[in-house]
Structure 1
Amino acid sequence: MLSIITVNFRQLDVTLELIKSLIQFAPKESEWIVVDNGSQKDISALLERMDSRVKVITSEENLGFAGGNNLGINEAKGDFLYFINNDTIVTKSSFQPLLDSMQDEKVGMVCPKIQYYYTPNTIQYSGFTEINPFTGRNRVIGEREQDKGQYDNVKKTYFGHGAAMMVRRKVIDEVGGIPETFFLYYEEMDWCKKIRKAGYQIQYNGKAMILHKESITVGKLSPLKEFYMTRNRILFMYRNYSIIYFIGFFLFFMMLSFPKRYFFLLNKDKKLNSALKAGLFSALLYLFNKSMAQPKDGLKYA
């Protein structure tokens, strides 16, 4: 059986649109787990009335992307777990090609091609390059290109995309759930590293496709995104690379990346600049004493 897991955070209308697309295209032999993260009101009755395959799990606390999905993992009964953002819309091809990929026992995770919902036939994701250990950067293959079928192939890739990733249950039992250290951003990258170290492949299957309303969740520029992208980039490099590589990366980050970003945001919004500095401070706290400073209440999901 296939378990489809999504996390809702105060975006009921967005989640309803996803459920409607699941009703149209999801396999009959599937369960749909909606984790209502940081719930302010009970939405379970409304969603569960839409289809018998819907099951709502309520968390009064906002557990973030990783924690919310891990709640779903604990309830899932499927051999394959398909994690999809609530701001996605599934299509006719969003399922079977990925299930076909999972017939290969070496595949631990497989991801579909992702197109931007609001710009038809424009690619958001068709695989990732490896991360440069000195800069901490990599590249999304095909991003912003017009989809002319050039990425309709099936291939190994270095990282999956958190908006849509199917993972074998056996792999989760072996390596554990999504790392919750990150709360938001980079957690799927860290997870992919663990899956690859366990000997499994991360695969991209361009025969499958899903649509993503990327800007709805947190926006292109937001204090929330700035904080976690800054902090978690440093944490990811620290957790996954040797001390030599990390020192090289950190020097690059402090001498080039951080100042460049700082002056760019200086002309944009003071809140963004404050979030950037707070993210760096939080990362340094983690590096020196393993404590984790979360944003102030006004920043979290700002």
Structure 2
Amino acid sequence: MASSTSLTAIVILNWNGLRYLQEFLPSVVANSTGCEVIVADNASTDGSISFLQHQFPQVRIIQHTANLGFCEGYNEALRKVDAKYYVLLNSDVAVTPGWTEPIIHLLEQQEHIAVCQPKINAQQHPDFFEYAGAAGGMLDTLGYPYCRGRLFETLEEDRGQYNDIEEVFWATGACMFVRASVYHALGGLEPAFFAHMEEIDFCWRAKNAGHKVMYNGHSQVYHVGGGTLHKSNPRKTFLNFRNGMALLYKNLPARELFTTIVLRILLDWVAAFRMVVAGQRADAKAVLDAHADLLRNSGYWRRRRKEQRMKGNFPAMTGVYRGSIVWEYFVKQKRTVRDL
């Protein structure tokens, strides 16, 4: 553990991300007064450690002996960090002056809030929201994730429409403030996910445990996105489809599980067919591989489901759209959350 407890620890998980540390770590160090800044390294081989040691000796380094992925990389690191609040921050995020203060103030004022994220804009197109988190994450009744400010591939221009404080369903793992006591009480991030959708699973578990997940638009950061895996990468396709289905199986109440899973399987097959038509055969195969992997590891997922503390009536939870964003987006051509 750290020698003394800090109020806020900003923990950046790094894997061969030297170029991002060089570009974005200076803004984190300069704009995070009073916070402990830590880099947890997943056995990088690109000179990241040497760079940190020589250029940022004030930044604490936690070195893993292997690439543990996003989930276990954070779980292992945060066991060694003593703070009241953790900030899980991607290495490709530029922060702004005073960015932590509005969120920490909100967490200090309302103890029932476990998780919160800031407004996240695209670093390369700063007037637009960023894909991974935008203005807070939501789910539809089939468990498809979307964000205020982003429906599928359509990103809204930031005109101040989300300069609010709002309860959401999930907060992005690109910049997620989380109460440390809740993080450990819930067992951290789902290790089998490796990466992608782990923050949705964590936030769902936090909500089931009686906590709130919030968005605070008074804080703003800028995210590159796709820094580790490009969004068209078959590995990312596999993780998104595998984890998306596992997310539902782990957390949905029994009365909603069967119908939702069946519909999602059918829609996954439709998505795979569209990938084939578009010439993305490797991505289409990744969808089928994701389903096969779930079947192979069904025993593990059954055990994880039994461990969950579920609440009934998923569609009634705050942050759930009582409809299908697939239908609204692809059939009815709606492009913003406010059109839903």
TM > 0.5 fold call: yes
Cα offset, 1:221, TM superposition: 0.6
Cα offset, 1:120, TM superposition: 1.5
Of residues 83-92 and 29-38 in structure 1, the stretch that sits farther from structure 2 once superposed is 29-38
Cα offset, 1:48, TM superposition: 3.1
Aligned pair partner of 1:107 in 108, 113, 136: 113
1:268 and 2:279 are equivalent in the alignment: yes
| Partner of residue 18, structure 1 | 24
Residue by residue, what CA displacement relative to the aligned partner does 1:236-294 show, whole Å, maximum 9, x if unpaired? 00000123322112211232x1222112221333322222221111112222x3389xx
- Root-mean-square deviation (CA), in Å? 1.9
Runs of 4+ displaced beyond 4 Å: none
Matches within 5 A, 1:88-99: 88-99=93-104
Cα offset, 1:142, TM superposition: 1.4
**For residues 129 and 291 of structure 1, what CA distance do their matches in structure 2 show?**
23
1:209 and 2:198 are equivalent in the alignment: no
Determine if contact 2:18/2:47 at 8 Å carries over to the other structure: no
Matches within 5 A, 1:56-205: 56-103=61-108, 104-124=110-130, 125-132=134-141, 135-143=142-150, 144-205=155-216
1:43 and 2:48 are equivalent in the alignment: yes
1:219 and 2:230 are equivalent in the alignment: yes
| 1:123 match: secondary structure | coil
**For residues 74 and 149 of structure 2, what CA distance do their matches in structure 1 show?**
27
Cα offset, 1:26, TM superposition: 1.1
Alpha-carbon spacing, 1:11–1:42, altered in 2? closer, same or farther (3 Å): closer
**For residues 129 and 55 of structure 1, what CA distance do their matches in structure 2 show?**
34
**For residues 63 and 21 of structure 1, what CA distance do their matches in structure 2 show?**
26
**For residues 227 and 137 of structure 2, what CA distance do their matches in structure 1 show?**
23
**For residues 102 and 13 of structure 1, what CA distance do their matches in structure 2 show?**
32
Alpha-carbon spacing, 1:284–1:208, altered in 2? closer, same or farther (3 Å): same
Sequence identity percentage: 24
Determine if contact 2:103/2:216 at 8 Å carries over to the other structure: yes
Aligned pair partner of 2:263 in 252, 274, 279: 252
**For residues 79 and 12 of structure 2, what CA distance do their matches in structure 1 show?**
13
Matches within 5 A, 1:26-37: 26-27=32-33, 29-37=34-42
Aligned AA (2:30): Q
| 2:172 match: secondary structure | coil
Aligned AA (2:260): F
Cα offset, 1:41, TM superposition: 5.5
Structure 1, unaligned runs of 5 or more: 293-302
| 1:5 match: secondary structure | strand
**For residues 160 and 102 of structure 1, what CA distance do their matches in structure 2 show?**
14
| Partner of residue 282, structure 1 | 293
Determine if contact 1:48/1:55 at 8 Å carries over to the other structure: no
Cα offset, 1:30, TM superposition: 1.8
Alpha-carbon spacing, 1:164–1:149, altered in 2? closer, same or farther (3 Å): same
| 1:139 match: secondary structure | strand
Aligned residues between the structures: 287
| Partner of residue 295, structure 1 | none
Determine if contact 1:30/1:53 at 8 Å carries over to the other structure: no
Aligned pair partner of 1:243 in 254, 261, 270: 254
Aligned AA (1:7): L
